[in-house]
């Protein structure tokens, strides 16, 4: 029996790599003083319908429980985290910096890099919408990929006020922009041109379509000269200025005025990070500024955040041959070749585990050949064994499996001796 379509089992090697990446990413959030939160895997369906509308039901797992409550598996974590913020944290001094890691569920059509159950690691910054704060958040996003060891990516930054102002100039007020934003988000440019041509033609339409090729701030300057578009341009310019001060590699970050973002709650700065070599499912991270206060009938609060697609990031690392780390190394494999040897070994194993070493213990008496085979199979640094002869002489044998060196240690003082031997083997290289 296979796991359900779009879900996966993760074996021990895969889990070791996932945990290693998770830890690296976590340490970046900690360095920026983000604090971890966790919310339920399912929520009231209403939470996700409120902002996105009933159409979202097609894309999520919703169900009724035995008491007829309408629930949904979360498709993302921003709405849940904001629910938690408004219910519990809203009186706390701002800014509030939260991060999270957990599974999300979407009724997407599965393909490479796109799953029905996938993991997001993300964050929300609540109560600071200055360009300085936005730049720091983008720096954090880039640091995650640096920590992961991925170099081949680029981040695009846009501002929805610019895009919306351009559409307004073409004759489409904000109330009529939703279907256009969807076409823009999917980069369906032929469909977009057709939809726009109802109200705009010729040079005007051509001029608008050219913004899809813009990559530099200067190119935007001329199309964002007045009102909210100008404010948005100034905001973006300050974000870029701060990114330069943060030492961000300019070749990795560019302007993209046509980022629309699929989720309906964004307003203001938006950004996406792609690994171009991945093809269709290349977006590794997305985010921006938003305000979900209306959903909870609360006063407005400025928020900005992003989520990193954890599974896709792993796919990208694998494609690039970058090891996420987390190599499974057993410090020592310990076997009694004879029942009399067991008590001394068991006491030592227990102490070594308390010292943090990873030990596989053979449960019964085995022949030496079997013991050494097993030690190799589990990739142990050391094989530790003792039979009747060793027990009589009050020693155990220690074999370093990387270089074949073999020595004896006295059973008195066995723990410090093995502790030192494990440390020395770890220093002398990976197994
Ligand atoms: P999102 O762009 O919908 O944003 O998702 C963030 C990331 O999750 C994507 O860039 C992608 O890497 C990954 N992802 C999405 N769907 C799938 C899937 N079916 N399989 C694998 N990976 C997937 C959000 O979810 C927003 N909540 C981000 C945010 C936080 N905005 C503000 N704060």
- Per residue in 271-309, pLDDT (tens digit) is 999 999 998 899 999 999 999 999 999 999 999 999 999
> Before 95, cis peptide (omega within 30)?
yes
Does residue 304 contact residue 271 with C-beta atoms inside 8 Å?
A: no
Residue 385, strand partner residues: 335, 397
Buried b (16+ CB within 10 A) or exposed e, 399-417: bbbeeeeeeebebeebbeb
92-135 tens-digit pLDDT: 999 999 999 999 999 999 999 999 999 999 999 999 999 999 99
Residue nearest to atom 33 of ligand 1 (CA): 305
Please provide the DSSP assignment of 97-124 as one string. EEEEEEEEE-----BTTB-SEEEEEEEE
Q: What's the pLDDT band for 265 if we cut at 50, 70, 90?
A: confident
Round to whole Å and give the CA distance between 20 and 148. 9
Place of tokens 């001094």: 93
Q: What's the pLDDT band for 419 if we cut at 50, 70, 90?
A: very high
pLDDT of residue 431: 52
Region of poorest pLDDT, from 149-163, 199-213, 353-367: 199-213
Residue 360, strand partner residues: 333
The secondary structure of residue 5, as a DSSP letter, is T
Maximum distance among all Cα pairs of the chain, rounded to whole angstroms: 97
pLDDT of residue 158: 96
Give percent of the chain with pLDDT exceeding 70: 99
Q: What's the pLDDT band for 418 if we cut at 50, 70, 90?
A: very high
Is the full-model pTM beyond 0.85? yes
Domains and CATH numbers, the chain: 12-319 (3.30.930.10), 330-422 (3.40.50.800)
* CA–centroid distance, residue 309 to ligand 1 (Å): 6
* CA–centroid distance, residue 337 to ligand 1 (Å): 54
52 vs 372: which has the higher pLDDT: 372
Minimum-distance ligand 1 atom for the alpha carbon of 290: 32
* CA–centroid distance, residue 190 to ligand 1 (Å): 26
Q: What's the pLDDT band for 223 if we cut at 50, 70, 90?
A: confident
pLDDT of residue 68: 98
Alpha helices by DSSP H, listed for 335-401, are 342-354, 368-377, 388-393
Round to whole Å and give the CA distance between 182 and 174. 13
* Ligand 1 binding site (Cβ under 6 Å of any ligand atom): 76, 78, 106, 108, 114-115, 118, 120, 122, 124, 262-263, 283-288, 290, 305-307, 309, 311-312
* Mean pLDDT of the residues in the chain: 94
* CA–centroid distance, residue 120 to ligand 1 (Å): 7
* CA–centroid distance, residue 79 to ligand 1 (Å): 13
150 vs 204: which has the higher pLDDT: 150
pLDDT of residue 429: 67
Chain mean position to CA 66: 33
Q: What's the pLDDT band for 263 if we cut at 50, 70, 90?
A: low
pLDDT of residue 330: 95
Determine the average pLDDT of the residues in 372-382. 96
């Amino acid at each position: 029996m296979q796991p359900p379509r779009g879900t996966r089992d993760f074996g021990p090697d895969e889990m070791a790599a996932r945990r290693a990446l998770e830890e690296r990413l976590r340490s970046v959030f900690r360095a920026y003083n983000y604090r971890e939160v966790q919310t339920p895997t399912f929520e009231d369906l209403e939470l996700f319908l409120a902002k996105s509308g009933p159409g979202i039901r097609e894309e999520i797992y919703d169900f009724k429980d035995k008491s007829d409550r309408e629930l949904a598996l979360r498709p993302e974590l921003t709405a849940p985290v904001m629910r938690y913020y408004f219910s519990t944290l809203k009186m706390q001094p701002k800014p509030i910096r939260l991060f999270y890691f957990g599974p999300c569920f979407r009724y997407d059509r599965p393909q490479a890099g796109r799953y029905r159950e996938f993991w997001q690691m993300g964050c929300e910054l609540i109560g600071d919408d200055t360009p300085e704060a936005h730049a720091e958040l983008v720096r954090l996003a880039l640091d995650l990929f640096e920590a992961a060891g991925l170099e081949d990516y680029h981040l695009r930054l846009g501002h929805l006020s610019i895009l919306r102002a351009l559409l307004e100039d073409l004759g489409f007020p904000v109330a009529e922009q939703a279907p256009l934003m969807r076409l823009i988000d999917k980069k369906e440019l032929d469909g977009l041109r057709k939809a726009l041509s109802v109200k705009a033609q010729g040079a005007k339409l051509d001029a608008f379509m050219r913004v899809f090729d813009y990559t530099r701030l200067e190119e935007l300057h001329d199309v964002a000269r007045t009102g909210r578009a100008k404010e948005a341009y100034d905001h973006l310019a300050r974000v870029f200025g701060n990114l330069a001060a943060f030492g961000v590699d300019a070749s990795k970050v560019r302007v993209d005025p046509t980022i629309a973002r699929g989720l309906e709650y964004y307003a203001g700065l938006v950004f996406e990070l792609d690994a171009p070599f991945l093809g269709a499912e290349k977006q590794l991270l997305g985010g921006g500024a938003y305000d979900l206060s209306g959903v909870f009938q609360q006063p407005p609060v400025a928020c900005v955040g992003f989520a990193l697609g954890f599974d896709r990031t792993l796919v990208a690392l694998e494609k690039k041959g970058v090891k996420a780390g987390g190599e499974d190394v057993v410090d020592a494999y310990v076997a009694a070749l004879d029942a009399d040897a067991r008590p001394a070994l068991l006491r030592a194993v227990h102490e070594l585990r308390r010292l943090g070493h990873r030990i596989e213990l053979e449960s019964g008496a085995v022949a030496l050949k079997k013991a050494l085979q097993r030690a190799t199979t589990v990739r142990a640094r050391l094989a530790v064994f003792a039979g009747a002869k060793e027990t009589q002489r009050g020693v155990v044998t220690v074999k370093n499996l990387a270089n074949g060196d073999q020595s004896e240690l006295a059973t008195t003082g066995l723990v410090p001796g093995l502790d030192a031997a494990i440390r020395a083997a770890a220093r002398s290289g990976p197994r």
